[in-house]
Chain A
Amino acid sequence: MVETSTVTALVAAAGEGDAGAWKALVERYAPLVGSVIVRHRLYGADAEDVAQTVWLRLVEHLRDLREPRALPMWLITISRNECVRVLKAGRRLRPVDPTTENDMYLGEVAEPDQALLDGERNQALLAAFAELSDRHRELLLLLTADPPFSYSEISRRLGVPVGSIGPTRARALRHLRECLEQANGERKGGPGGIATLR
């Protein structure tokens, strides 16, 4: 059983005004929003500009989000649109020569196909990761740290026996795969253009 109830509960609680639930949602989905922004090569003030609009829109739409599984795609679409806005606005700062500029910005940074696929894969992974339980996310964060933590250090940090880490890791990754597969199935016909929930 995929652990989606956590996100569903967090969305519902935040929609009722629970600031703690909102904070947890932001922590879960900040990596996803960040990955979209960085993929568009935006940093610093530009990245913050995008993030502000994305989160403000989400606050406004929390109560419309009746199907929380739509949240990752919604966040990706809004983030991408805002990145496009910032990138296009940046173009005002330099002259445009239509005879040579055939890479007019059309929604994605020009990337090799592989990088494009990697970017989509990363977003899918981060969206699935956000749906895991706190326990599983904490464990996977420690396991993917660079340099990685040893099992004994993880045991100490999480207060769990060393022997339980392997099986928990396997379960966490299985859940991650299940979330990825579910999202793949639901992605077709996902939102495009202006993501609106009303």
Chain B
Amino acid sequence: MASRPSDDDERLLRELGSALRGGAAVQERITTIGEGAFAWYGVDDELEFASLIHDSLLNEELTVRGELHRTVMFACSSVTVQVERSAGLVVGQVVPAVEGDICVLLAGGDSSWIRTDELGCFSLPEVPAEAFRLRWRTATADVVTDWIRL
């Protein structure tokens, strides 16, 4: 025999329904995108992972004449990399400096290479239009950064 629902249960159910409907407009696409993201699973098993440790966007409001300036920093035990975006320009520096090639991996699967100078500085030809990560080789390890969307 079905028990009679309490008022509290009714209220909770209504609240849940309202919460579930709140994100309904975007939920299907979010789910599809989420399923696709697993294609990146395990790709970087052997790599040293550099986590996002600073993002100026979350701490400061550096808007100059309507332009966005943003600095992000990734770090792992052996290396840090700072990336700055100012308007349409993206520059960065790897510390300790590594002169060589850095791979820019785009979430959609494309990749390109950029060159660092003797100070470990580099620039991207354009602001990536999707999430990306950087990957490069130091003297001791292959390093990959967290995903970032500038």
| Interface residues of A, Cβ cutoff 8 Å to B | 14, 17, 19, 22-23, 26-27, 30-39, 42-43, 47-49, 51-53, 55-60, 62, 81-82, 84-85, 88-89, 91-96, 104-107, 121-123, 125-126, 129, 140-141, 143-146, 151, 162-163, 165-167, 169-170, 173, 176-177, 193-194, 196, 198
Asked whether A95 lies within 8 Å of B9 as measured between CB atoms, the reply is no
What is the total of A-B residue contacts with beta carbons within 8 Å?
A: 193
Q: Check A26/B34 contact, CB under 8 A, given A35-B23, A59-B41, A106-B61.
A: yes
Chain A: minimal CB distance from B104 (Å): 15
Q: Check A53/B131 contact, CB under 8 A, given A59-B40, A122-B18, A140-B13.
A: yes
Asked whether B54 lies within 8 Å of A30 as measured between CB atoms, the reply is no
Contacting residues, chain A, for B24 (C-beta < 8 A): 34
Residues of chain B at interface, number, CB under 8 A = 57
Chain B: minimal CB distance from A184 (Å): 14
Interface of A is mostly: helix
Name 25 A/B residue pairs within 8 A (Cβ), A-sorted.
Answer: A17-B42, A30-B31, A30-B34, A33-B30, A47-B30, A53-B148, A56-B147, A84-B57, A88-B63, A91-B66, A92-B67, A96-B65, A122-B15, A122-B19, A122-B22, A125-B16, A129-B19, A144-B17, A163-B1, A165-B2, A166-B2, A166-B3, A177-B12, A194-B58, A196-B52
